[in-house]
Structure 1
Amino acid sequence: MDGRTKGSRTAAVAGCIAVLLSACAGSGGGGEGGAKEPDSKTPAPANEPATVKVAASNIQFSEEDFNRYLAEPVKKKYPHITVERINTSEKGNSLTDLIAAGNIPDLVGFYPGNLATVNDLGLTTNIEELIKKHKFDLTRIVPEALDAVKMASNQPYLTGLPSYHNPFGLFYNKDLFDKFGVPYPKDGMTWDEVRDLSLKLTRKDGGVQFRGLYADFLYRGARQLSLPYADFKTNKATLNTDDWQELMKLWESLYAIPGLMDGSYKTLGYSANEQSFLKGELAMLAGYSNTLAALRKTPNMQWDVVTYPSNKKAPGVGHRLDSPVLSVTAQSKAKDAALQVLEALLSDEVQTEIVRNGRMTVLNSQTVKDQFGKGIPEFQGKNVAAMTKPKMAPMVAVQFLNEGTVDSITNKAFQAVVDKTADINTALRTADEELNKHIQEQLQKRK
């Protein structure tokens, strides 16, 4: 998800654009040979044998998932297409490495927070004519997901399509609620209501410090409300505003419970708190679908899940699109085949298989959504369908910002509030100043 894949758009990116342009002027990387290949602007006919190279990380697709949801379905539906994976998690396989070697993939995967990297690397192309040519019905996809792709890529057109969505939910430990006589959480709760539960569950018992809730970083709440980072008309940060102050106050209230942040949990971090939840010391975890995999490995735990807590200002809204977006590259010589790979991935059949195995579809289909988690025996009888209910939050403009850097700035500001080394006004004012520096640095790089 976005919080897990904040690869920086480093200074090397700018240099790689020059490398890219020189590399593409020759034989290119979308095909398998040298100078005799057709011009990259002339895609191969849709029924001719084609190899589609897909650059994706282990976080986006495991080897098993890549074969299950991409390679095998494509081979079944389009026998003339061979899907070849380039694992960008492996050393020497980063996109900058591939570009420098003249081995440009046909499809590249990025989470929304870093999708504009496709522009920085000179790979962007408008796929809307391809979509029309192949009569792909975009109305099948959740509108917020398509809007997020455009917003994240900073383009007025689609450069790629989302593959699946990592849904969010509020996981809870039934044993702890039973132990302290507290009613279980319910679908549709707000952060304020969940905080009230956390107050009742954060206590010491038998020498063990039990904690009520881990809500994760401040940026989770910001994305739920679609709070902007900056005003791109003036290129000024907008962190020191009433909306951010209000969110910071809410988030502070979630953590300002005696005992909640004691000891090793003083510093925010999802992994450590997920482990605390699995150990039976944390009652509630506001988390995402990757935690489902961890719960499968904890068979004796009595757990369940309800809808992700909502903000009163955005009733029924969960999180924004958290999807590996697969973008067709401008240099691809197999654009038609690349679009057909996306078609296969976004078919009802493949999306149903994805949903049955614990990831959320980006399709509108309620029939597909209703299959969530049903392929996993350990989830039978669990309220995992709750993770499919919230609306997707709209994405805000990122443009030239490195969202990972922005997140680090807001994380640092909130940690200072939690540590009581700064009040909310001071923390946000400092964060605003730091973001303005980042904005100027990014603008300078683009000159």
Structure 2
Amino acid sequence: MAKQIWNRALLLPLGAVIMLSGCSGGGTGGVPKPANEGTDAPKVDTSPVTVKFATSAGIFNDAEFKQYVTEPLAKKHPHITVQYINTSEKGSGITDLVAAGNIPDIIVGYGGTLKQLKDLTLLSNMEPLIKKYKLDLGRIIPETLEYIKVNGDTDYLGGLPAFNNTFGLFYNKSLFDKFGVPYPKDGMTWEEAGDLGKKITRNYDGIQYRGFFPDNVNRMINQIVLYQLDKNDKSTLTTEPWKNAFDLWNRIYNYPGNADAPYNTMNFANNQSAFIKGELAMIAGSSSTLLALRKAPDVNWDVVTYPQHKAAMGYSTNVDTPNMSITEQSKVKDAAIQVIESILSDEVQLALARNAKMSILTSDKVKLEYAKGIPEFEGKTLNLTSMTKLKPSVPRISKYQGSDTNKIVLDAYEAVLRNEKDVNTALRDADEELNKLVDSKKKNQ
């Protein structure tokens, strides 16, 4: 169903709204000037209105959308109807909608969507609406707001965050008990986690037990805000910090018994399966790992803070939020901002946090409730709040950086894992490949 009509509520998937920040009128694509702040609350027009909302199905399923968007909105603004457009369906992608002249009022997506909206002249300055409706941005984790400006390459807010995906170091308590190794603790560095993994790694009763999967090296790169490209968009991959990053990954992951085939790749899904199967002791995962463990009741697990880099203590990896953006062309911006305001309410943000879609509020009360609404975890003593303790980092990404440049880095490290290249050769080859890719992008822009 490419389209669904939801009455009495605006169907606003959290991610899309952040991306299309349409704040003031006009469909010219220009940035509207900030409105003057009034002393009185704005008059709310309660005439029936329909808001077209577009997002991918992965951000909210039908039940979640009802819980976090339509039901709470209906209590406050029953005059609003939402037309839901699933951008995951063929022919309903953002570019398809624009080509058909069917521009949504709100679009929700991750960082790359902000860039796409800007390129399509859909991104608007939402700050006038934020001021008009007196939304308190002081309630919101500042890094999530910075992320929106960085990814949209703007000096204004082209969206607002909906929720944030969290990260942690998951460990199998049964394996640590089996081999008499102390459990991981909050506040560990990558080196400390890697050393624990080595104590677990062994072949026992014909089974190869592995100690640690740290996820791909780009996660740590984002943590320490190490860039692939310099200010002139030239590769930095042959610099000393990148060599140190690869050397660190070699120390904590690339050793016999831990990174042998088929684990001589950075394939996360295979390693998560090994963790759930009970053959991997630790995995640096995210809220998606947490949700996968809902379906694995026999695994005796817990979680501690995401491993930290010695040069960036206190930080997890990068911000990972779906963003809610109002399109510049929208004719119903006031209704759209009311939808976003509802999603950012204490009530909705608490409900999101309780179901492992971490709130973007700074509130300690909300953080303490993280994932406590998941029935499969009831009665278990789990250190779930560890996933909310560290700050997210905000890498400034060149417009030429994306999944294709990330793949160059991944391929380079996997060549090292497979003993095809040493670190220096792998980085030198990747450096050359990255510069060629960027040059090609510049020529074709």
1:237 corresponds to which of 228, 235, 238: 235
1:397 Cα deviation (Å)?
A: 2.8
Q: Measure the CA separation in 1 of the matches of 2:61 and 2:182.
A: 38
Could you tell me which amino acid in structure 2 is paired with residue 335 of structure 1? K
State, as a whole percentage, how many aligned pairs show the same letter: 49
Provide the alpha-carbon RMSD of the alignment.
1.6
Q: Measure the CA separation in 2 of the matches of 1:49 and 1:395.
A: 42
How is 1:43-82 mapped onto 2 (pairs within 5 angstroms)?
Answer: 46-82=45-81
Q: Measure the CA separation in 2 of the matches of 1:438 and 1:334.
A: 41
Secondary structure of 1:236's counterpart equals coil
Q: Measure the CA separation in 1 of the matches of 2:251 and 2:67.
A: 43
How is 1:420-439 mapped onto 2 (pairs within 5 angstroms)?
Answer: 420-439=419-438
* 1:170 aligned onto 2:169: yes
Could you tell me which amino acid in structure 2 is paired with residue 386 of structure 1? S
Cα separation, partners in 2 of 1:444 and 1:67, compared to 1, 3 Å: farther
1:332 Cα deviation (Å)?
A: 1.0
Q: Is the 8 A contact 1:52 1:81 kept in 2?
A: yes
For 1:102, the equivalent position in structure 2 comes to 101
Could you tell me which amino acid in structure 1 is paired with residue 348 of structure 2? V
Cα separation, partners in 2 of 1:114 and 1:429, compared to 1, 3 Å: farther
1:259 corresponds to which of 249, 257, 260: 257
For 2:286, the equivalent position in structure 1 comes to 288
1:267 Cα deviation (Å)?
A: 2.0
1:164 Cα deviation (Å)?
A: 0.3
Q: Measure the CA separation in 1 of the matches of 2:300 and 2:283.
A: 14
1:46 Cα deviation (Å)?
A: 4.1
1:45 Cα deviation (Å)?
A: 6.6
Q: Is the 8 A contact 1:189 1:309 kept in 2?
A: yes
How is 1:65-214 mapped onto 2 (pairs within 5 angstroms)?
Answer: 65-214=64-213
For 1:384, the equivalent position in structure 2 comes to 384
Could you tell me which amino acid in structure 1 is paired with residue 381 of structure 2? G
How is 1:258-277 mapped onto 2 (pairs within 5 angstroms)?
Answer: 258-277=256-275
For 1:31, the equivalent position in structure 2 comes to none
1:235 Cα deviation (Å)?
A: 2.4
Q: Measure the CA separation in 1 of the matches of 2:93 and 2:278.
A: 39
1:229 Cα deviation (Å)?
A: 2.1
* 1:393 aligned onto 2:381: no
Could you tell me which amino acid in structure 2 is paired with residue 70 of structure 1? V
Secondary structure of 2:124's counterpart equals coil
2:357 corresponds to which of 332, 356, 359: 359
Cα separation, partners in 2 of 1:401 and 1:196, compared to 1, 3 Å: same
For 1:39, the equivalent position in structure 2 comes to none
**1:178-230 C-alpha deviation (Å, 9 max, x unpaired):** 11110000000000000111101111111111101111111101111111221
Could you tell me which amino acid in structure 2 is paired with residue 297 of structure 1? K
Q: Is the 8 A contact 1:152 1:395 kept in 2?
A: no
1:274 Cα deviation (Å)?
A: 0.7
Q: Is the 8 A contact 1:70 1:83 kept in 2?
A: no
Secondary structure of 1:102's counterpart equals coil
1:416 Cα deviation (Å)?
A: 1.0
For 2:36, the equivalent position in structure 1 comes to none
Secondary structure of 2:311's counterpart equals coil
Q: Measure the CA separation in 1 of the matches of 2:235 and 2:188.
A: 32
**1:236-279 C-alpha deviation (Å, 9 max, x unpaired):** 12222222221111112122221112232222211111111010
**1:121-149 C-alpha deviation (Å, 9 max, x unpaired):** 22111111111011111111111111111
Q: Is the 8 A contact 1:106 1:328 kept in 2?
A: yes
Cα separation, partners in 2 of 1:320 and 1:134, compared to 1, 3 Å: same
Q: Measure the CA separation in 1 of the matches of 2:185 and 2:45.
A: 50
For 2:218, the equivalent position in structure 1 comes to 219
Secondary structure of 1:231's counterpart equals coil
1:67 Cα deviation (Å)?
A: 2.0
Q: Measure the CA separation in 2 of the matches of 1:107 and 1:406.
A: 29
Query: Which TM-score applies when normalising by structure 2?
Result: 0.87
Q: Which moved more, 1:208-217 or 1:331-340?
A: 331-340
For 2:38, the equivalent position in structure 1 comes to none
Q: Measure the CA separation in 1 of the matches of 2:355 and 2:81.
A: 25
Q: Which moved more, 1:237-246 or 1:95-104?
A: 237-246
Q: Is the 8 A contact 1:116 1:153 kept in 2?
A: yes
Q: Measure the CA separation in 1 of the matches of 2:155 and 2:245.
A: 30
For 1:415, the equivalent position in structure 2 comes to 414
For 1:441, the equivalent position in structure 2 comes to 440
Q: Is the 8 A contact 1:307 1:389 kept in 2?
A: yes
1:160 Cα deviation (Å)?
A: 0.4
Q: Measure the CA separation in 2 of the matches of 1:127 and 1:121.
A: 17
Q: Measure the CA separation in 1 of the matches of 2:144 and 2:270.
A: 30
For 1:338, the equivalent position in structure 2 comes to 336
1:402 Cα deviation (Å)?
A: 4.3
For 2:8, the equivalent position in structure 1 comes to none
Secondary structure of 1:396's counterpart equals coil
1:437 Cα deviation (Å)?
A: 2.0
**Structure 1 moving runs of 4+ over 6 Å:** none
Q: Measure the CA separation in 2 of the matches of 1:47 and 1:246.
A: 59
Unmatched 5+ stretches in structure 1: 1-23, 26-43
Count of residue correspondences: 403
For 1:21, the equivalent position in structure 2 comes to none
For 2:247, the equivalent position in structure 1 comes to 249
Q: Is the 8 A contact 1:240 1:432 kept in 2?
A: yes
